[in-house]
Amino acid sequence: MVKGRRGTGHSGRLEIDRPSQEILQRTAISVDADRVEARFVVGLPARGRRISGRQAEEIFFGELSELIANTLYFSALDREVLEKFVDTAEDADFIRRSLPGEGLAAFVGNGAILPRRSGVDDRPLKEGEAVAFQAPPGLEVEFVCPRRGKVTGMGIPAGVTLIVGGGYHGKSTLLDAVEKGVYNHIPGDGRELVVADFSGVKIRAEDGRSISSVDISPFIRDLPRGIDTTAFSSADASGSTSQAAGIMEALEAGSRLLLMDEDTSATNFMIRDGRMQALVAKEKEPITPFIDKVRQLYRDLGVSTILVMGGSGDYFDVADTVIMMDEYVPKDKTAEARRVAENFSTRRSFEGGEHFGNVRARFPRPESIDPRRGPKKKVKIAAKSRKLIGFGEEWIDLSAVEQLVDISQTRAVGDILHYALGNYIDGERTLGEILDLVEADLDREGLDAVSVYMKGNLARPRRFEVAAALNRLRTLRCG
């Protein structure tokens, strides 16, 4: 048995990176045809400044070999449990790959458990406390997975989807599960069969964040004092400008699916109703609300939106699919919403113009990204928590980046920014090209490619979270 901590400080500690509910590519363990590699930390035993040699011997030749024998050999593991992990991940991958061909943006399997124990506990709500997911007949689809065979559930079609329903009926819980469905989940999580397009990005208002030269003109133009919104920068963005920038940055990074919740959106970004249009002329309102852009996003760019919207039925006019959450049970209300839209005019006029507008590529400037700190100008990049990276003299605040799910991903984001700066960010390449190059290296060589020394505590982030971090570096300047 492993004894764990003894002596002072880190003495006797054996630690390996602890995974969360998501299955992520990690550096802690790698397995290939002829070897298994585990990376872990051993705190050498000591009493103050004295090394305890005998205990060190015990750890290295006793505990460690025992531990290895019990955990890293196939013969020591439960074959069924192991296979379940592999099968679960392979089936979810299969569904995710199949989504575009089926005309779907996301899938939620019947029987899925969506609610979590709490905001700080990502495990499923206990048996009996959660209502298992059941697809409404009109939206039921079927996949034949390579491992578990036939599965049924709700297909969320590409296009514009509204999730409506009364407060506390489970709207945000559904959207949260879908937004995490860009990752695979471990067996028993409840969300094994909740799968979203891998490029899905949660968008929210984030007032106070910084923005660097983003073209937000599809949504916002003619700001007071003639401020240019085709290359908009701010050290302290408003709710609406931050949400507009979030969308444009996600499109720039290649997203084909936007996820939004009224709970975390800026009202004036989402809607401008008929009465307000009558009182405040279009010329006096810089914002073109999302409601007038969401269809063009799909028509012009092929980008779908899933939107939680319990507060404004004006959106019925622009939705392809309307799902109502009713005591945690989804209902297909598409036809009914269409009838309501025909019978009750919104009396608003369309303000969206001819086309969605431009997604302008930006060229990050290397001299604006400095990971060095202190009098000796040493490179210092550290993930302080899942939500915060110390980057040189700067802090990158990722608290609104919800799809960064593990501190090991956050660490990797820091390393990737450093790597991209050293290799690809040259002022000549677009952010999209930089992300492509980094991803190609990661695909080929794994996470070791980006870290300066071998680390056992990195997990792979998506390109969207790498971009999100760079976009939140307050010193960033772009051409």
Among 24, 46, 63, 169, binds ligand ADP (CB under 6 A): 169
Smallest separation, CB 182 to Mg ion (Å): 20
Instruction: State yes or no: residue 167 binds ligand ADP (CB under 6 A).
Output: yes
Alpha helices, H only, 17-150: 53-57, 64-71, 79-98
State in angstroms the smallest separation of the CB of 289 from Mg ion. 20
Contact region with ligand ADP (CB under 6 A), list: 1-9, 137-145, 165-173, 196-204: 165-173
Contact partner at residue 52 from Mg ion, ligand ADP, none, CB < 5 to 8 Å by partner kind: none
Task: Please give the Cα distance from 469 to 479 (Å, whole number).
Answer: 18
User: To the nearest whole angstrom, how small is the minimum distance from the Cβ of residue 313 to Mg ion?
Assistant: 17
Least Cα distance to 217 among 354, 364, 318, 360 occurs for: 360
Distance between CA atoms of residues 21 and 406, nearest Å: 9
Residues that bind Mg ion (CB under 5 A): 171-172, 263
CA gap 160, 140 in Å, rounded: 17
Residue 405 contacts residue 413 (beta carbons within 8 Å): no
Q: Is 460 helix (H, G, I), strand (E, B) or coil?
A: coil
Which x/- pattern, by CB under 6 A, does the window 119-138 give for ligand ADP?
------x----xx-------
Q: Output the smallest distance, CB 118 to ligand ADP, in A.
A: 8
Which one of 173, 240, 296, 305 is in contact with ligand ADP (CB under 6 A)? 173
Cβ neighbours of 81 (radius 10 Å)? 9
**SS3 assignment, position 260:** strand
x/- letters, 450..469, toward ligand ADP (CB under 6 A):
--------------------
The CB density around residue 377, as the number of other CB atoms within 10 Å, is 11
Residues linked to residue 232 through DSSP beta bridges, in sequence order: 214
CB of 175: closest distance to ligand ADP in angstroms?
Answer: 8
Total binding residues toward ligand ADP, as defined by CB under 6 A: 15
Measured between alpha carbons, how far is 304 from 259 in angstroms, rounded to an integer?
Answer: 9
Q: Binding to ligand ADP by residue 328, rule CB under 6 A? A: yes
Candidates 26, 96, 171, 386: give the one binding ligand ADP (CB under 6 A).
Answer: 171
CA distance linking residue 331 with residue 462, whole number of Å = 32
In the set 109, 153, 170, 218, which binds ligand ADP (CB under 6 A)?
170
Residue 330 contacts ligand ADP per CB under 6 A? no
Check residue 114 for interaction with ligand ADP (CB under 6 A): yes
What residues contact 296, with CB distance under 8 A and at least 6 apart? Answer: 352, 355, 356
* 168 scored as a contact of ligand ADP (CB under 6 A): yes
How far apart are the C-alpha atoms of 413 and 432, rounded to whole Å? 16
Residue 117 makes contact with ligand ADP by CB under 6 A: no
172, 238, 240, 255: residue in contact with ligand ADP (rule CB under 6 A): 172
Q: Which residues contact 141 (CB under 8 A, 6 or more apart)?
A: 102, 104, 107, 135, 152, 153, 154, 155
Q: Which does 328 bind (CB under 5 to 8 A by kind): ligand ADP, Mg ion, none?
A: ligand ADP
Q: Is 265 in the site for ligand ADP (CB under 6 A)?
A: no
User: Rule CB under 6 A: which residues touch ligand ADP?
Assistant: 114-115, 125, 130-131, 165, 167-173, 325, 328
